[in-house]
Structure 1
């Protein structure tokens, strides 16, 4: 009889690791002036990128409808993380960009993820953590950013 865990445990443990890290960083962000941020918001910020995006582009990048992207934009605009500006190349288009508050949230989350990684290195040892990261790179696609995860989770 094998002492190996069942196959379904691996994705659940990976998801739990993800949740543990993200929840830890979001608790810290809440203490640092960003209490309304949700895990999805970081993905939205990354999908908007430094050049900004239209609602259509954002929806496509996230794998959601233009309407769903518009709702996210409205919500994050009300919270002060995003702003709509005119496209300098096409006055009919609105570009969504991060505000200073949004950039601050991204900067703080990056520092939070570094802090959590350092904690994992203390718990596991740096060599084991590096080995874990190498192993995960070996079994996952090279493309690190899968911004369409919101659409993937919500698809039927």
Structure 2
């Protein structure tokens, strides 16, 4: 039976979704039940230098208003802080807090565990082959986790 290109895209998306959903369940079990995937994207963008709502919105390909709402949630939950800019006291910069870095470390550890689970299911060699083939097809630097908005970009 031949599969379509759309089937392949859905399988890849399903793999991503399976891993992310399992990670969110485990993060909740570890006490981070208020954390969502978009929060990780936002905090990684902030860690990479997005220090305002406008900059975060550009990096995530969302409106300034949507970025502001995400910032408000992350500030309220203690995952980021707003600090005075040492170069310009009138300006406030966003920074990831120790709690924010901890939840990201927890998430990374969970993804490592999920990878081990897949390794146990299909075997070390099979998973290594899958990863190698995906790298061949998409390249090493194809995905930047601090810029998830690629799906919303206007290519026309």
Over 3 Å counting, the alpha-carbon distance change for 1:50 and 1:150 in structure 2 is closer
The whole-number CA distance in structure 1 between the counterparts of 2:149 and 2:63 is: 11
Total equivalences in the alignment: 154
**Contact 2:85/2:92, CA 8 A, preserved across alignment:** yes
Any residues of structure 2 matched to 1:119-138 within 5 Å, and which?
119-138=117-136
**Contact 2:78/2:100, CA 8 A, preserved across alignment:** yes
TM-score by length of 2: 0.89
* 2:17 alignment partner, one of 12, 16, 19: 19
**Contact 1:40/1:150, CA 8 A, preserved across alignment:** no
1:8 partner SS:
helix
Over 3 Å counting, the alpha-carbon distance change for 1:154 and 1:29 in structure 2 is farther
| Unaligned residue ranges in structure 1 (runs of 5+) | none
**Contact 1:52/1:98, CA 8 A, preserved across alignment:** no
Over 3 Å counting, the alpha-carbon distance change for 1:60 and 1:29 in structure 2 is same
**1:73-108 Cα distance to aligned partner (Å, 9 max, x none):** 001111121111111112222111112221111010
